[in-house]
Amino acid sequence: MHANPHPAPSPSPTTTLGIERAGVEPVPLDRRHGRPWSLFTLWFGANVQFATLSVGALSTSVFGLDLLPAILAVTLGTLLSSALVGLFSTRGPLTGVLQLIQVRGPFGRLGTLPSAAFTVVNGVGWCVVDTLLGVFILRELTALGFGPALLVMAAAQLAVAVLGYRMIHAVERGLAVLLVAVFAVVSVYGFGDARAAAPVEPFAGSTTAFLLAVAVTSARVLGWSAYASDYSRYLPPSAGPKRVFLAAGGGSAVAGVWIGALGAALGTLGTLADPSSMVSGLLPDALGMVVLVSLLLSTLASTVIDLYSGAMAALVAGFRIPRWVSVLVVGGLGTALSWYAGHGDFAQHLQDFLLMTGYWLAPWAAVIVTAYWWRERGTYDITPLYDTGHRFGWGLPAVLLALVAEVPFMNQSLYTGPLAEAHPVFGPLGQFVGFAVAGTAYAALSTRKTHRHTPVEETSCPTTTRS
């Protein structure tokens, strides 16, 4: 293979006045820093939060699962997707580039545009979910109306995301300790008062409810996989893949199982119409205020990750604006949509959003796994990722084929597929079918000869290639 005639742009200084300036270019070796443990605290802090609690509560308060089956479903869904978060994180230190830049390998430069667009949508969508949860808390803590509370949440989230990578890691480290203590207290009350039986009838039968709980839980965590390498790309290449996998995947899994199970327990006590009152109603007044403030901070820990990576996705899509401006645009869109979503059925909006993200992300993840851990295992050269001549790969056709296969299984308030309508038990299987179809299709289509390239850590310039 010849050297790329269109090398990656030279990296800009990492920060200016505390604001990260790096964009879609690779992180140079002399700016790599940190240890894999930082990924544990980041993904632990990102998952020890109110949205995880709310998704767990869906399993009992909406789907009608009893507590033990609900906890099993939450555990299974969390472990499946956390493994992908860990796996995708391992390529960050070895390449130094964003997750979506790596997607250019199997998808091509233009073929990656739908993935970039969906990542922006995913970031905006989760911004809406977490912003609304924060608004619920602010309204319970203060006399603020919906509009002022929404503006307060938007300002706090944007301030951290604009500063960038270093500030996000610092916030996650600090909040991880606080939130462990807070959720430990909530766990005492939540698990102590939980009932074995759900407060509602199972949705179309217990098997359907169980599979649906697995699907929405795995979709929640799967959303993080679209960003995984964004937060490991600053680590030095010496960070071993095994340690990176265990740190990132472990942080996501431990927090996701714990808080998701706690949400399932709280869901046995009431409905999900107002998640903040679901928590505060369990606790003495003074303690309830402290917990709500901490939960408010937990929504910040999650949203800043979505805003940061959503903004990066816009840059990958080709928008030539500074990273911090992209953050403001994505955050502004999320705030506007929060105004609309905040006046509807929160539980239904949350369920629909989770299923929608799963329909796209499951096939997308299958292509990445097949491309980098089966067909081209050991390929870390990043030069082809910046080659403007590589416009399309087989990744996008494989994902589109999987989406067609998923249509009969789709089961949302906006659309119900014929198979899901006739046999509801098959509905939650859509994203798993999509994963299998996309992986198989990509393996069959991508029959070109592969090469094993020199890992980036062994070359002085990561934009040149040796075959």
Residue 155: which CATH number? 1.10.4160.10
Give the tokens for residue 287: 């303690």
Instruction: Tell me how many domains the chain contains.
Output: 1
Give the tokens for residue 342: 């905040």
The number of beta carbons lying within 10 Å of the beta carbon of residue 192 is 9
Residue 98 lies in a domain: yes
Residue 455 lies in a domain: no
Residue 362 lies in a domain: no
Going residue by residue through the chain, which has 467 residues, state the pLDDT in tens, using 9 for 90 and above.
333 333 344 344 344 345 666 567 888 888 888 889 889 988 998 888 888 988 999 999 889 999 999 999 999 999 999 999 999 999 999 999 989 899 999 999 999 999 988 888 888 888 888 888 888 888 888 878 888 888 888 888 787 766 666 677 677 777 777 888 888 888 988 898 888 877 778 877 789 999 999 999 999 989 888 889 988 998 999 998 999 999 999 999 999 999 999 999 988 887 666 666 667 677 777 777 888 888 888 787 778 778 877 888 888 877 777 777 888 888 888 888 888 776 666 777 788 888 888 999 999 999 999 999 887 766 677 888 888 888 999 999 999 999 999 999 998 878 889 999 998 889 899 999 999 999 999 999 987 544 444 344 433 334 433 32
Residue 180 lies in a domain: yes
Residue 449 lies in a domain: no
The number of beta carbons lying within 10 Å of the beta carbon of residue 23 is 18
- 3-class SS at 276? helix
Residue 10 lies in a domain: no
The domain in which residue 181 lies consists of 21-346
- For residue 146, which of 130, 131, 160, 156 has the smallest C-alpha distance? 131
In angstroms, how far is the first alpha carbon of the chain from the final one? 6
- For residue 429, which of 184, 147, 156, 218 has the smallest C-alpha distance? 218
Residue 463 lies in a domain: no
> 140 and 292 in contact (C-beta within 8 Å)?
yes
- Burial label, 295 (beta-carbon count in 10 A; 0-12, 13-18, 19+): buried
